[in-house]
Structures are given as C-alpha cells and as structure tokens.
Amino acid sequence: MSELVGNVLVGQSGGPTSVINASVAGVIAEALNHECIDEIYGTLNGVLGLLNEDFIDLAAESQQQIRALRHTPGAALGTCRYKLKKQQDFERVLEVFKAHNIRYFFYIGGNDSQDTADKISKLAQAQGYELRVIGVPKTIDNDLPVTDHCPGYGSVIKYLATTVREVACDSQAMGQGDLVSIIEVMGRSAGWIAAGAALAKRRDHPHDPPHLILLPEVPFNQEKVLADVAKVLKREKFCSIVVAEGLVDSDGNYIAASTATDAFGHAQLGGAGDALASIIEGKLPGVKVRVAKPGLVQRAAAHAASKTDADEAYLAGQAAVIAAINGETDKMVTLVRGQTEAYSCETGLAPLSDIANGVKLLPPEWINEDGVSMNFQFARYAQPLIQGEVAVPHENGLPTYAQLQKTKVEKRLPTYEIV
C-alpha cells in the first residue's frame, strides 16, 4: 500500500482511567518515528473538539511532559460523553479533517467510542477521503469484545483489591460479629471490576474478605444474600461485601438507578450499596452497616496503578500508529494473551464493527456455584494484570503529574453550532 502523508489526530473519550494517558504517550512516541507524519495533534474533549475544531499541537510539548503522561491519571486531552447525533455532525468532522489534512485518526475509548470511530471511517470512505482510523481500547469495565482485557482494568482491580484488604483491617478492629462493610464499585452491565476484589483473598484462605461479591451477571436474590450475610457474621467479626453498581434483580431491573440517562441512553447508576445497606439493616436487627463508594477514585488512583497495565496501555498506543502506517484502518488494537505458562501479552487487530456497542460478560464458569465468589480460573486470568508498581515521581511529599502546555492549532473553518 502506498505511503500516506499527512497529520495525526488523537483523542480520548468516555470515563478516564489511571493509564489512558499512557496510550496517548505511545501514540506520540511512535508517530515521531515516521517521516510520512507531518504534525501530531490532539483533539480536546473528544468529538466535541472535532466539532469545535479545537486542537492542540502535541509535537510542541516537551519530552518530559510526554513521558510524564505514562504515570498521569485522568484524560490529559480532555474527554466527553457527547454523541454525534446527526449526519451534519459527521459531515462537520470530515470537513475538519480535510481542513487540517488529518490522515490518521486514533480514538482512545470504550464501546461507544469505537462505534463513533467506525462511523467516521465509513463516511470518509464513502466520500473518497483517504483516512486511516484505528481505535485504542480503554475501559476499567473490561467489557470490550474480542480483546483479552482492556487497558485500565488491571489498575482498577489492583486498587480495589488493595482497598478491600485495608478496609478489612479497619473492620476487623471495629466489628464484633455485628458489622457489615459494603464497597460499591463501578460496573454497569458486567461484573469484571467487582470480581477483581477476589484477588484480595490470600491463596488457600477462602474465608478472607471479600466474603460476598454481588455481580450484574447473577440476579440479586434478597433472601439468599441475607442468609449469606448471617452465615458470615456467625463465623467472622464482620462481613465484607463488594457490590457492582449494575446489580439487577431477577427481572433485569437495577436495584438502584436514577431515571436520568446519559448522551448514549444509559441509565445513571449509583446507590446499589445504600440500597443493599437498607435491606440488611431492615432485615437483620442489631447489624450495623457501613458503605464505602470509591466512585471516581477507583479510576484515578495512579498511586496504585499496575505497571503491567500502564505498559500495555502504552504498547496499545504504539501499535495503533504502526498499524495505520502499514495501511490498516477500521480496526481496534486488541491485547492478546500469550499461550505460555508465564504471562505475556502481544497486540492484535479486530474490526471496529466487531467492537462497537458490544459487551463482554464474565464467563459464568469463572463464578462459583454460590454465586458470590470467584474461582481459580478468574484468579489465573486477573492476577497477572495487577503485577508491578508504576514509579510516580513526588515533590514535597505529593505525586507530580503531566501538565501539558496545550499550544492551540489555528482554526480554519467557521464556528459550528452544536445542538
């Protein structure tokens, strides 16, 4: 395939992770190696930056700051949950690409982001505009199809399992067989994050916290959960529960959700921990319940990030550029686990259409028959993903993170009205 000369544009979308910026660093570092790439731009706040022609010059950033992206949480380019709603939006995106000679577009995000990238690519093809679009996976939810796992997941479960152990130390001191400690974690449709709490258990110590893990894949049965809690409290000084925010009943209804929805039509979740606490306190007299909600903290905890996760996020960014330079388009980078006994990971590619809007659930065979714990197959899958610690530099006792100067790229088109 003939060499494509032009500019790179990279963007981020959806909920940030503690390693999403490592993928940006990977894109920049690899793009600088190829003479066919003239400029390297970042779009601020995802597709909103595309519509507003709001770009920054990433090649103008210092190498020190680019390296710092590898340990910086959040989305350094800014993110959004805006949905391109009409054909006019997509036409505007293509106009912006043409105005800035964007020939390589890398979009770092989850299910909905890959769908957006796929639609942009198909419109470019329909109009005969040569553009190579590669998606870079990102989601703490770990629910993207095809890829073995997703950058961001290893770090969030490393943080969660650590939190479970730390809270257990507190509960052990406070409980006298009358305390239930609930940690509510993210996870809309799949329980990958909640399942990761199982890594807090020591090998051959089945009664270690968390004692119960409540997953979206297993319908909530109030009577059974109450019986499980009572059984643990008879045996232990406290009962540790990890519950996914997307917990549903047997009819598929969330046990806690607001009537509001986001731009993609997803219900606004939150409150599963409090709902569970109310049930336990109402049905088990004398039991005290405490609820902890890591919330945004769980996806921003760079101080507890997995080095394996950060390295693979960087690798995914590099692989996206290499794929595009080699003529690939309409693909997402995937992480492919090696078949050897020792953990290894390579990158692959999958069609964006195979990723867009799909959801990968926990394999049911990884959930024990009790429905509230994970077996060795899950541990074998997840344990390698949390290995290693990211070296975060500190100043005056606190971590220092990247601060991009964000040199603006001159706009070339009339202002676009976003409705």
Beta-strand runs (E) in 194-340: 212-214, 238-244, 257-261, 267-269, 288-292, 331-337
Question: Cα separation of 195 and 157, whole Å?
Answer: 8
Residue 1 labeled ligand binder: no
Secondary structure percentages of the chain, helix, strand, coil, to 5 = 40, 20, 40
Rounded to the nearest 10°, the torsion over CA 204, 208, 213, 218 is: 40
Alpha helices in 213-295 (DSSP H): 222-235, 272-283
Helix 20-31 to helix 307-325 angle (10° resolution) is 40
Q: 382, 399, 398, 366: which is closest to 161 by C-alpha?
A: 382
Residue 396 labeled ligand binder: no
Residue 188 labeled ligand binder: yes
- Amino acid identity, position 219: P
Residue 245 labeled ligand binder: yes
Residue 186 labeled ligand binder: yes
Question: Cα separation of 44 and 82, whole Å?
Answer: 12
Q: How many CB atoms lie within 10 A of CB 339?
A: 6
Residue 111 labeled ligand binder: yes
Residue 140 labeled ligand binder: yes
Residue 14 labeled ligand binder: no
Six token digits for residue 164: 């479970």
Question: Cα separation of 278 and 378, whole Å?
Answer: 30
Q: 214, 195, 190, 201: which is closest to 162 by C-alpha?
A: 201
Rounded to the nearest 10°, the torsion over CA 369, 271, 240, 165 is: 110
Q: Is 141 a catalytic residue?
A: yes
Residue 295 labeled ligand binder: no
DSSP assigned state of 35: T
Question: Cα separation of 243 and 374, whole Å?
Answer: 13
**Strands 345-351, 331-337: pairing kind:** antiparallel
Contacts of 101 (CB under 8 A, 6+ apart): 6, 7, 38
Catalytic, out of 112, 115, 118, 141: 141
Total length of the chain: 419
Annotated binding-site ranges for substrate: 139-141, 186-188, 245
Annotated binding-site ranges: 15, 111, 139-141, 186-188, 245
Annotated binding-site ranges for diphosphate: 15
Question: Would you name the residues annotated as active-site residues?
Answer: 141
Annotated binding-site ranges for Mg(2+): 111
